[in-house]
Amino acid sequence: MNAGLNYVLKKMLHMQIGCHVSISGSIDKAVDNAVERKCSAFQIFTRNPRGWNAKELTKEDIANFKSKLKESKIERLATCAHMPYLPNLASPKVEGFEKSVKTLIDEIERCSQLGIPYLVTHLGSHLGTGEEGGIKRLVEGLSRAGKTSKDVMILLENTAGQKNSVGSDFKQLGEIFNQLKSNKILYSEIILFGKHTYKFNGKLFTWEEYVNNVKTTDGLHQFQLMI
């Protein structure tokens, strides 16, 4: 059997599978929705994903979410949250950038309150001002958020190569991590969305090709690929 396929199949035997679930009604409903769908993992928005303002999590919200999660068979480490859509961490617009960083820090706090260990974020758009500046601003925003003492890991979602987007290819992702490393920010990992990678590259990578791209890209070679 192909070594890469054999590795993937072995991992699949222990894979936690889930989906993005709604928090409509109250945030603890997310656990109900995940259990109803027989998930062993799930992702949520902790707030309205299409607005800047967020309703504060009450002590009751937090207690109910944690209680239901504990009663379910879903491990806490198999939960994650996703940043709302409006923030742009690569934005050259000062007001928009500052609001984006504040939202990221707020979301880290909300995840910490709920006991959610991972927060997924888009990498943003440089809005036509250039890749170098976009990456610099992204790294600044992540570095500021990384100074929080919360035990939450930020997961960077690769993009599909939309116009002016940051983080579409392995080289860009490597540069982002090199700069984070120089800032002593090592709390981030990468989520490689196969759909996004396919759209940008125009092909589906085999497992061996993924491994080779990570191992040969400066800034990424120290990472382990996990499935």
> Looking at residue 3, what is its pLDDT?
55
> Looking at residue 220, what is its pLDDT?
52
Q: What is the mean pLDDT of residues 136-147?
A: 92
Kindly state which CATH superfamily the domain 83-227 is placed in: Divalent-metal-dependent TIM barrel enzymes (3.20.20.150)
> Looking at residue 225, what is its pLDDT?
45
> Looking at residue 193, what is its pLDDT?
46
pLDDT in tens, 5-32: 555 455 555 678 899 999 999 999 999 9
Which position has the higher pLDDT, 89 or 17? 89
pTM flag (> 0.85): no
Confidence of residue 123 (pLDDT cuts 50, 70, 90): very high
216 has a pLDDT exceeding 70: no
Whole-angstrom distance, CA of residue 100 vs CA of residue 20? 22
Whole-angstrom distance, CA of residue 113 vs CA of residue 136? 30
Which position has the higher pLDDT, 9 or 155? 155
Whole-angstrom distance, CA of residue 135 vs CA of residue 99? 17
44 has a pLDDT exceeding 50: yes
Range of weakest confidence among 112-126, 127-141, 164-178: 164-178
39 has a pLDDT exceeding 90: yes
* SS3 labels along the chain: CCHHHHHHHHHHCCCCCEEECCCCCCCCHHHHHHHHCCCCEEEECCCCCCCCCCCCCCHHHHHHHHHHHHHCCCCHHHEEEECCCCCCCCCCCHHHHHHHHHHHHHHHHHHHHHCCCEEEEECCECCCCCHHHHHHHHHHHHHHHCCCCCCCEEEEECCCCCCCECCCCHHHHHHHHHHHHHCCCCCCEEECCHHHHHHHHCCCCCHHHHHHHHHCCCCCCCCCCCC
Whole-angstrom distance, CA of residue 13 vs CA of residue 93? 46
Q: What is the mean pLDDT of residues 204-227?
A: 54
Which position has the higher pLDDT, 176 or 31? 31
Ranges of each domain in the chain: 17-80, 83-227
Q: What is the mean pLDDT of residues 178-198?
A: 55
Q: Strands of 79-82's sheet, edge to edge?
A: 18-20, 41-44, 79-82, 118-122, 153-157, 189-191
What are the angstrom distances between the C-alpha of 211 and each of 14, 71, 206, 219?
20, 38, 9, 14
Range of weakest confidence among 24-28, 92-96, 133-137, 215-219: 215-219
140 has a pLDDT exceeding 60: yes
Locate 223 and state its tokens: 């990472």
> Looking at residue 84, what is its pLDDT?
97
Whole-angstrom distance, CA of residue 17 vs CA of residue 42? 8
200 has a pLDDT exceeding 50: no
